[in-house]
Structure 1
Amino acid sequence: MVSQIKDFENKIRKYHSHPEAIVIDCKPIGYPFYVLTLDLTYLDSRDLELLEEYVMKCIANGLNKLEEIFGFLGMDNHIIEKVLSKLISNDLIIREHGFNLTQNGVDALQKQTVLAPISDTKTFYLDALNGKLIDKFHLSKFDTKKYQNSCIEKIIKRPRKDNIEDIIDHYQDIEKLLQPPGYNIIELIQVNKIEKVYPEWHEVLLVLYKSNANDTELEYEIFSRDSIQKDYRETIEKLYGEGKKILDPIFQDMKQDNTSNQSFTKIVSSINDEDIKNVEQISARISSLNDPDYFIDITNNSVKEEKQKLKAQLEQIKTQSRISEVIHTCDIREYLFKALKQANNRVMIVSPWIKSNVVNQEFLSILEETLKRKVQVNIIYGYKETPGSMKNDTWSINKLENLMYNYKNLNFQKTTNSHRKQVVCDDKFAIVTSFNFLSFRADPNLTYRDELGVILRDKQTIEDLFNSGISLVKV
């Protein structure tokens, strides 16, 4: 997931010329289509390209020399030579005392002149936002039952079964889509009926980003198959221009329950928002200078000198603030698993709440593997419960208590009232954040929350955080 986010970030930086853009998170959403199964009648008897047919007709009518054929057709002799060469290789003509049709050629030419109507059933997809018709694409189906609030509402009116007048404007598109690549040989006679029609949502990724670290506004881009989908974005922007704000319900859902980052500064008061912003901004600037595809306007210094200057500024801020790196929602849970998998001596996890969608079987399995390596693990949770507040899941708590019974190196305790969120991994790194490690999964399929965290690598700071966490549950 992290590598995919970084890939999205690089593509957004290049596509929008925002070399300091920062991807915050991404979320799968359902893009609507109508699936149409149509009963068609069309003419499909032309196996020969048009020029091949004309050349063979010339030969059938006695023009069997190269100069006679290109002279009659009024075309360059090199073009006719290529056509003749292809017809010979396909055993449609033979060169004996000039050019002559083989029996296969006679049959092919005869078939070319007899139009036989064909009845067939074909499936097409009607874009429910812009009304464009296509015959195939490679998007995955979206699970509408599981993620109802992540589906874009349909704009185009649904065609009705057995009402072919609803798609009469698409007849020309249907005929074009019936053509094989490089040919124009099929003639649509009629659409007999609409046999089936039903809506279907297909998955694209809504990627949220800031154009730079200082920007307070979130922007978005549409991805599928790891590529920016310009057409989908343009369709959505056009609808917004018409007052149809189709993404607003999804944005609203993504922003609800958004946890304030104010708790972040309460945990480590010496780390302030300005330092976080500066680390993000300078890191993004250095990253943009590393990209050879960008021309950076630096008037007095070379790119190398500018990078050195920025790195020096970054190191100064890191030294003063103890911030090693700033991470967002999509990265934070990855670091939790990184701590469990890489720790040699100790891990501490402090989080107010515990939910079973986070402390699930995957989490428990990784935790048990950590315990088997004799790593001391401290899990501390607990926040004062009030009416309407979040509740802990007993299933997860029971599972953790069972592990503590089986592994003496697991210390699982509840504190009376702490809103702190932190992770400590040996003396390698610590994370302080607004991210609820044990109750928020950071699943892009679920509600979006812009969580922020900082990684600290100063050994004394890590030790202070560890001791501070232990003090939460000291008797």
Structure 2
Amino acid sequence: MSRQYQILHRRFGESRPGLELVAIEEAAVPVTMLRADVLAQERKDLPVTEAFTLQFVERGVDTTSDIAAYLGLEEAHVVEASASLIRDGHLRRHSTGQLGLTALGLEVVRTLAATQPVERPLPVAFDRLTWSLADYQESALIEKRQAEERGMLVLPADRNARIGLDDVTAAEFNALLKADRLQVLRIHKVAVRKHRYLHALLLVFANASRDEIELALCLDDDLSNAHGIALDRVGAVERLGLSVGKPSDRPVLDADLEDMRAEERTVVEGAAQLSVENDTPKGQPAGDLFATGTGGRAPVRSVSVFEHPVLLDEALRNAKRRLLIVAPWVKNAVVTTDFIARLEQRLRARVEVTIAHGYGDDDRGSDEDALRRLENLAGRYERFTFIRLRNTHAKILIFDDVWVSTSFNWLSFRGDLDRTYRMEEGTLVSIPSRVQKQYEHYLGVLGRVS
């Protein structure tokens, strides 16, 4: 997911003038699967004999015997085809025995297909945020329980009402079907089959004074205007309790590291320049915005609020030798089933893992389930050290030769009940000797904890 976040940041990070992209959240769009009983016109190819019979009649060959002679068939076959066409309303038989085209038959000749009214049930998805039919595959939808386990932000529905005939139209169906063989004429009934959720990415923008928040939704790697309008219409910021709080002060590093520190904007511009120099193809990401001091990147650089969860994801996916996390609180919304699975993958890859947490005399700031998950995992792997500290103000991430010192709460950034985002800033150091020194320092501190 980190690569996708990087691409979205590059594409849309500056799409809202005066606002900064402060977070990208995995979100769940409420969807209801419906069964709609519809009356439709179905176009189907005609059997060969019926098609030729219509064409001959249209050209003035209007007796079954003459048509059979032209086709080289026994007349009985043409009589059978004519009877079927008369029954479907495409032909009529005059009192003289000659065949003639009906208006419907003339239209069928032009398209060489038959149109018949049919009644059939159609499965269809209904997006309860935009309150409209949607072209979602049922196999791509998940249950609410799964969304919550993955720490997704469950988005609100447009309204709390039963979906009825007034909410769906034949025109919407036909736009979704995008087929010329079935055209919905009328909807008789809609019935709810199941409630599900669609995975999406929610982009959270805020201004510097923290008094303005805007939301955007990304589906299929692009922003959905319909969902953006719907989020604003339903007051999603207020309903989800989203806010932007005052950030803590950035931890200051040793003077020599501070002198080397490059600001984020400088890093981004440098990556863009590197892309130009290397003739990066259009549409391809311009270098790895979150890379770590290699390929000409600054070895000490700022880390924006947006980058923190991406760096944590990178560590959980790709750490090869070591992973250390220090954070005051541990929340369910971060330590999800997926988080535990990735952490266990690192352990199976023989990565040394250390997680330290704690603030105050008890764990009231953390979630019991999240702590228990980590304790259980630590009990199964000797190379996983899980420690509670008496008080830790430090927020540290170290993986391999990367060290991030920050005011960002690594294990609880999604866990505030009021969903408060903070424009936290940190520093990434990718000088191996300094990272090693810091790693040994924290191991020493943790080793003295009883």
- TM-score, normalized by length of structure 2? 0.62
- Stretches of structure 2 that go unaligned for 5 or more consecutive residues are 62-66, 91-114, 288-293
**Higher helix proportion (structure 1 or 2):** 1
- State the 1:2 CA deviation: 0.9
- State the 1:387 CA deviation: 9.4
Distance (Å, rounded) in 2 between the aligned partners of 1:285 and 1:248: 33
Task: Find 2:227's aligned residue among 220, 229, 232.
Answer: 232
CA distance 1:137–1:349, change in 2 (3 Å): closer
CA offsets 1:152-189 (integer angstroms, 9 cap, x no match): 222495345xxx6x46x835656x479883357x684x
Distance (Å, rounded) in 2 between the aligned partners of 1:116 and 1:401: 66
- State the 1:456 CA deviation: 0.8
CA distance 1:93–1:337, change in 2 (3 Å): farther
Aligned residue for 1:351? 327
Distance (Å, rounded) in 2 between the aligned partners of 1:208 and 1:187: 36
Aligned residue for 2:308? 329
CA distance 1:271–1:95, change in 2 (3 Å): farther
Distance (Å, rounded) in 2 between the aligned partners of 1:180 and 1:117: 18
Provide the secondary structure at the position in 1 that maps to 2:250.
Answer: helix
Is 1:431 the counterpart of 2:404? The answer is yes
Distance (Å, rounded) in 2 between the aligned partners of 1:413 and 1:113: 81
Task: Find 1:248's aligned residue among 237, 247, 250.
Answer: 237
- Aligned residue pairs total 389
CA offsets 1:202-221 (integer angstroms, 9 cap, x no match): 41423326699999976543
Is 1:395 the counterpart of 2:372? The answer is yes
Q: Does the 8 Å CA contact 1:37/1:122 hold for their aligned counterparts?
A: yes
Aligned residue for 2:445? 472
CA distance 1:205–1:348, change in 2 (3 Å): closer
How is 1:169-180 mapped onto 2 (pairs within 5 angstroms)? 170-171=169-170, 176=174
- 2:219 alignment partner AA: S
Aligned residue for 2:250? 264
Aligned residue for 1:342? 320
CA offsets 1:381-438 (integer angstroms, 9 cap, x no match): 43323795446766357547746xx84x766655432211223345x2222233444x
Aligned residue for 2:431? 458
**Higher strand proportion (structure 1 or 2):** 2
Q: Does the 8 Å CA contact 1:377/1:410 hold for their aligned counterparts?
A: yes
Aligned residue for 2:269? 282
Distance (Å, rounded) in 2 between the aligned partners of 1:380 and 1:463: 18
CA distance 1:399–1:128, change in 2 (3 Å): closer
CA distance 1:197–1:5, change in 2 (3 Å): same
Aligned residue for 1:6? 6
CA distance 1:116–1:402, change in 2 (3 Å): closer
- TM-score, normalized by length of structure 1? 0.59
Q: Does the 8 Å CA contact 1:329/1:449 hold for their aligned counterparts?
A: no
CA distance 1:37–1:351, change in 2 (3 Å): same
CA distance 1:93–1:263, change in 2 (3 Å): farther
Q: Does the 8 Å CA contact 1:28/1:150 hold for their aligned counterparts?
A: yes
Q: Could you tell me the percent identity over the aligned residues?
A: 13
CA distance 1:173–1:282, change in 2 (3 Å): closer
Distance (Å, rounded) in 2 between the aligned partners of 1:195 and 1:211: 40
Distance (Å, rounded) in 2 between the aligned partners of 1:213 and 1:43: 56
RMSD between aligned residues = 5.5
Q: Does the 8 Å CA contact 2:5/2:24 hold for their aligned counterparts?
A: yes
Task: Find 1:152's aligned residue among 149, 153, 156.
Answer: 156
Distance (Å, rounded) in 1 between the aligned partners of 2:176 and 2:203: 38
Q: Does the 8 Å CA contact 1:35/1:200 hold for their aligned counterparts?
A: no
Provide the secondary structure at the position in 2 that maps to 1:252.
Answer: coil
CA offsets 1:427-471 (integer angstroms, 9 cap, x no match): x2222233444x33869xx96856654321124432442354245
Aligned residue for 1:137? 136
